[in-house]
Amino acid sequence: MAQAQKLSPEVLDELKKVASIYGMIQTDYVTPVDGTVVLASCMKGMLNKLDLQSAYMEKDEFEDFMRGPPKDLVGIGVEIVIRAGLPTVVSAIEGSPASRSGLRPKDYIMEIDGHSMEESEARDAVKRLRGKPGTTVNLTIRRPGEMENRSLTLIREPSYLRRVSSRRAPFDIGYLRIPSVNESTAPDVRAEFRKLQATGPLRGLVLDLRNSPGGLLLSSIELAAMFLPPDAPIVSTEGRLSESNRAWTANRDEILKGGYAKRDDWPDAMKSVPLVVLVNAGTASGVEIIAAALRDNNRAKLMGSKTFGRGTIQTLRPLSKDSAVKLTTAFYKTPSGRQLQGNGLEPDVQAPDLQRMEDAGTDQDAGLIKAINLLRAPS
């Protein structure tokens, strides 16, 4: 943890003003006020002014954060962040109520069961989305570029992230769908790649990262490294703390020493097979790191639409046994030096997005068809 800085006279003067205002409220305000509530609002305001991920957590919020969601409650299978003061869809889990309803990345959730979500916190939105299995939740959403709101009614049910899947597409092109990134993803990708190889040499490979919200950083690094030459840059982090500044490469020994690679049997063909990476607005965080690393090292073309642009690291700092600060302490940067947060990645080639992620990898997948044609084209 960083040492507390010595406060300048100017800052001390401002803090004296805060104390004076607090004193006025306690003695002069028309009705008595709980001072702890006033001070908590003050601290929340400080953190909210920084960015949408930094936050001050009071007792209930901190306990919820540490405990996780109640086991008997389920949601609609959607990941959200706060953007423009509203809960915003990052992605919907394939096959979930959110996916079946047509919720798309970057849709704004205006209301949940009639409650306005303007200036709400992500925690509040998540709590309202969750409930007993089989119960309904009513959403009012606004899609970017549309003037009229849409109304959706969804039934809550358990949603499960799907695992890596593959198929052999026409013209000896392999297809790998990566719906999220966790500890098993890189080993699963290796296994699926071997299955594709077992039926004959591959002319090219399509990595489908559409509607994939990311996941574990170190697993994302391992996955990118499998397709890159040794020591190729993958990602760096940048912040004001010394521990916030670090860079990762495709050095296999370092990855194995770090303890986050499952095994070191990476098929050599993975480093040379021609690649196209499918991306869209639901491609976020760890998978944006993968996509950027492959493109910046000239290993792949990105095809689809602009990615989400989510690339910050938060550090939890307990203040007491029942309160804490969640503070953004670093940004992710791509090998080319680009900051992901708020920017996203523009594709090299535009391609139509899917209306239903359930069609990914099928004959109805226009993006896959275009990727196959690009890999077939003479280089």
- What is the percent of the chain where pLDDT is above 70? 95
**Among 133-137, 243-247, 279-283, 375-379, the least confident range:** 375-379
pLDDT at 170: 93
**pLDDT tens digits, 35-71:** 999 999 999 999 988 987 899 999 988 888 888 778 8
**pLDDT tens digits, 262-291:** 555 678 899 999 999 999 999 999 999 999
**pLDDT tens digits, 168-210:** 999 999 999 999 999 889 999 999 999 999 999 999 999 999 9
> Would you place residue 260 in the very low, low, confident or very high pLDDT band (cuts 50, 70, 90)?
low
**pLDDT tens digits, 73-95:** 999 999 898 888 899 999 898 88
pLDDT at 82: 86
pLDDT at 257: 66
Give the predicted TM-score (pTM) of the model: 0.86
Average pLDDT of span 112-117: 96
pLDDT at 264: 54
pLDDT at 210: 95
**pLDDT tens digits, 146-164:** 999 999 999 999 988 888 9
Neighbour tally for 197: CB within 10 Å:
16
Going along the chain from its start, the domains and CATH numbers come out as 67-155 (2.30.42.10), 165-376 (3.90.226.10)
- The amino acid sitting at 180 is S
pLDDT at 1: 47
More confident residue, 123 or 14: 14
Mean residue pLDDT across the chain: 91
pLDDT at 361: 78
* For residue 228, pLDDT beyond 70: yes
